């Protein structure tokens, strides 16, 4: 991986480190290598960073003091949530000259307004805690993803997280009404409004959402809540191809309408990996199918006749030869078992050697053509490569992952990461897609962003970065590189 960009940054002096420690108090910092170690490596082990000091402020005022001190000293800061991001955004660079600021102690739910259907949560709240708090108040917070037991709501905002229910409820951009954040000069932006309608100018909240810690440190957000689903029906269907999956998706939306909450795709090879490596899993269908669709439909009222409609959809699709075989979960336990098959794919893939991962999206109708073209190209590039392309097909989002050929050498395969990714990303761009549907740009894709983004868009992104962070101290070298 390439070295960090040159910047006019200062290295932290002993005086600055002491001032930062004083700002957060005894419980708010650590420089013990054992404490810091898990925070200095990313989820995939691609990046190993260093820092002289890890801060854990407990209040927005403490965050503001820390940022102000760093800004005055021109020392960069890296905000970190649950460190579950998959693009190296939350880990400092190897040179050790950045301060790491973790939000984990800012973990209070400040308010839950059941009438307004909103919750004000601090950035360090774990996503699962937010979901539970909503449920306890007979409300529903729909963001749901594999890392929900450890990712933080601040990280979810900073990465505009998506997940499994985007189809119905949208991603974080659609789930956040207000934000509180510390800007790169240490001032506090107090945008915690809980309004559904607010047309009073540029939207700083939306700038901060998806900014990956490069425009400020999000300290709290007002989240939208919904009536909880009271019916949930989960089906697992075998189909011949991505095109067949798409045809089924169209029919599902025509017959079930907005009740379709999730529509996921996985190929047989992904199921084979799961069955081989994840204990307690079994094939829910009698015979192997080339691809599988996991479709979830939910309703917020009982007697919705939803179960009948889902069964009818699948029966007709089987009669028409669109679906090879299908099953509908008979209750929560069976539904969880079906979801486990889908959610275990990344874990199962780890047991099959090295993998080169992509998180792309294309317009939904272009998905089958993308899959064909990209598979053909990567197979020509790396004969024997195993394409494990799965994901949120209802959002046009595919994790186009490549597992090493069976008898290949792991390091030799991984050495071809850039070459393979360029090929996949070029195919995405040909189809008007995005090289990052969910995980962000971080450090992993920053050069690809420069290579592939529209020059005008890139220029405007750089202008925004310069306007808000003129000294480039907020997570520099991530997302958007200076021009």
Ligand X SMILES: Cc1cc2nc3c(=O)[nH]c(=O)nc-3n(C[C@H](O)[C@H](O)[C@H](O)COP(=O)(O)OP(=O)(O)OC[C@H]3O[C@@H](n4cnc5c(N)ncnc54)[C@H](O)[C@@H]3O)c2cc1C
Minimal distance, residue 183 CB to ligand X, in Å? 11
Q: How far is the CB of 89 from ligand X (least distance, A)?
A: 3
Sign of CA dihedral 450, 456, 462, 465: negative
Distance from C-alpha of 344 to C-alpha of 342, rounded to nearest angstrom: 6
- The secondary structure of 351-412 as a DSSP string is TTS-EE--EEE--GGGHHHHHHHHHHHHHHHSTT-EEEEEB-GGGTEEEEEEEPPTTS-HHH
Residues 6+ apart with CB under 8 A from 55: 20, 24, 28, 29, 66, 99, 100, 101, 102
Which residue's CB is nearer to ligand X, number 170 or number 290? 170
- Exactly one of 98, 395, 438, 448 binds ligand X (CB under 6 A); that residue is 438
Q: How far apart are CA 31 and CA 306, in angstroms?
A: 55
Find out whether 167 and 263 touch, Cβ atoms under 8 Å. yes
Whole-number minimum distance, CB 119 to ligand X, in Å?
A: 16
Shortest reach from residue 348's CB to ligand X, in Å: 12
One character per residue 19-58, x = contact with ligand X (rule: CB under 6 A) = ------------------------x---------------
Q: Which of 16, 151, 252, 402 binds ligand X (CB under 6 A)?
A: 151
Cβ nearer to ligand X, comparing 61 with 419: 61
Binding mask 117-146 for ligand X (x = CB under 6 A): ------x---------------------xx
* Interatomic CA distance for residues 126 and 343, integer angstroms: 19
User: Using CB under 6 A, which of the segments 46-54, 161-169, 310-318, 323-331 binds ligand X?
Assistant: 161-169
Taking CB under 6 A as the binding criterion, the range among 329-337, 378-386, 416-424, 435-443 that sits at the site for ligand X is 435-443
Task: Count the Cβ atoms, other than its own, within 10 Å of residue 464.
Answer: 15
Block residue for tokens 């075998």: 238
The single residue among 49, 76, 142, 162 that binds ligand X, judged by CB under 6 A, is: 162
Q: Shortest Cβ contact with ligand X: which residue?
A: 155
Distance CA 43, CA 29 (A): 22
Nearest-approach distance from CB 164 to ligand X, in angstroms: 6
Helices (H), 114-175: 127-136, 153-158, 166-169, 172-175
Which one, 133 or 408, has the nearer CB to ligand X? Answer: 133
Q: Does residue number 442 form part of the binding site for ligand X (CB under 6 A)?
A: yes
Please answer whether residues 215 and 184 qualify as being in contact, where contact means their C-beta atoms are separated by less than 8 angstroms. Answer: yes
The SS3 call for residue 234 is strand
Identify residues 66-85 at the interface with ligand X (CB under 6 A).
Answer: 78-85
Establish if 218 lies at the interface with ligand X (CB under 6 A).
yes
Least Å distance between CB 313 and ligand X? Answer: 25
d(CA 354, CA 412): 9
Strands 231-239, 291-299: parallel, antiparallel or unpaired by DSSP? antiparallel
Q: Which is nearer to ligand X, 149 or 384 (CB)?
A: 149
Out of 97, 154, 191, 229, which residue is the one contacting ligand X (CB under 6 A)?
Answer: 154
- Whether the Cβ atoms of residue 302 and residue 217 lie closer than 8 Å to each other: no
Q: Cα(first)–Cα(last) distance of the chain, in Å?
A: 19
Indicate whether 439 belongs to the interface with ligand X (CB under 6 A).
yes
Among 152, 205, 234, 403, binds ligand X (CB under 6 A): 152
Nearer to ligand X, 41 or 423 (CB): 41
Residue selected from 60, 99, 103, 299 as contacting ligand X according to rule CB under 6 A: 103
**Residue of 163, 178, 284, 476 interacting with ligand X (CB under 6 A):** 163
**Binders of ligand X: how many residues, by CB under 6 A?**
37
Regarding 242 and contact with ligand X (CB under 6 A), the answer is no
* Residues paired with 16 in a beta bridge: none
3-state secondary structure of 228: coil
Among 153-161, 198-206, 404-412, 417-425, the segment contacting ligand X (CB under 6 A): 153-161
CB of 332 to ligand X, least distance (A): 21
Q: Is 217 in the site for ligand X (CB under 6 A)?
A: yes
CB-based burial of residue 355 (10 Å sphere; 0-12 exposed, 13-18 middle, 19+ buried)?
buried
298 C-beta neighbours (distance < 10 Å), count: 23
Cβ proximity to ligand X: between 100 and 313 the closer is 100
Residues that bind ligand X (CB under 6 A): 43, 78-86, 89-90, 103, 123, 145-147, 151-152, 154-156, 158-159, 161-163, 212-213, 217-218, 346, 438-439, 442, 475, 478
């Amino acid at each position: 991986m390439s070295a960090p960009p040159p910047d006019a940054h200062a290295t932290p002096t002993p005086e600055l480190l002491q001032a930062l420690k004083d700002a957060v108090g005894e419980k708010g910092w650590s420089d013990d290598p054992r404490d810091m170690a898990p925070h200095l490596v990313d989820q995939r082990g691609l990046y190993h960073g260093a820092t002289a000091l890890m801060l854990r402020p407990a209040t927005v005022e403490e965050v503001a003091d820390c940022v102000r001190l760093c800004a005055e000293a021109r020392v960069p800061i890296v905000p970190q949530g649950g460190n579950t991001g998959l693009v190296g955004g939350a880990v400092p660079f190897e040179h050790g000259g950045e301060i790491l600021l973790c939000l984990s102690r800012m973990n209070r739910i400040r308010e839950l307004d059941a009438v307004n259907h909103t919750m004000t949560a601090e950035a360090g709240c774990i996503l699962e805690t937010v979901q539970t708090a909503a449920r306890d108040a007979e409300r529903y917070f729909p963001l749901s993803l594999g890392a929900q037991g450890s990712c933080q709501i601040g990280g979810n905002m900073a990465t505009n997280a998506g997940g499994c229910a985007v189809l119905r409820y949208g991603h974080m951009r659609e789930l956040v009404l207000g934000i509180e954040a510390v800007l790169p000069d240490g001032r506090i932006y107090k945008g915690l409004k809980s309004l559904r309608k607010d047309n009073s100018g540029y939207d700083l909240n939306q700038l901060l959402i998806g900014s990956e810690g490069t425009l400020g440190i999000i300290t709290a957000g007002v989240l939208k809540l919904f009536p909880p689903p009271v019916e949930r029906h989960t089906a697992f269907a075998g189909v011949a191809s991505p095109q067949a999956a798409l045809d089924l998706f169209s029919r599902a939306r025509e017959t079930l309408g907005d009740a379709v909450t999730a529509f996921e795709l996985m190929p047989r090879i992904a199921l084979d990996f799961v069955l081989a490596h994840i204990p307690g899993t079994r094939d829910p269908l009698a015979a192997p199918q080339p691809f599988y669709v996991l479709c979830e439909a939910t309703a917020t009222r009982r007697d919705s006749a939803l179960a009948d409609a889902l069964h009818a959809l699948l029966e007709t699709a089987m009669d028409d030869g669109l679906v090879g075989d299908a099953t509908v979960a008979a209750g929560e336990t069976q539904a969880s078992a079906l979801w486990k098959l889908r959610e275990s794919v990344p874990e199962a893939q780890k047991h099959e050697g090295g993998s080169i991962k992509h998180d792309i999206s294309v317009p939904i109708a272009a998905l089958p053509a993308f899959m064909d073209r990209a598979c053909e190209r990567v197979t020509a590039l790396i004969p024997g490569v195993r394409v494990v392309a799965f994901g949120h097909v209802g959002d046009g989002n595919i994790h186009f992952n490549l597992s090493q050929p069976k008898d290949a050498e792991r390091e030799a395969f991984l050495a071809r990461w850039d070459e393979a990714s360029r090929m996949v990303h070029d195919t995405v761009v040909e189809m008007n897609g995005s090289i990052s549907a969910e995980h962000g740009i971080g450090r992993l894709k920053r050069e690809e962003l420069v290579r592939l983004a529209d020059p005008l868009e890139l220029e405007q992104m750089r202008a925004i970065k310069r306007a808000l962070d003129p000294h480039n101290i907020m997570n520099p070298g991530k997302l958007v590189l200076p021009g």
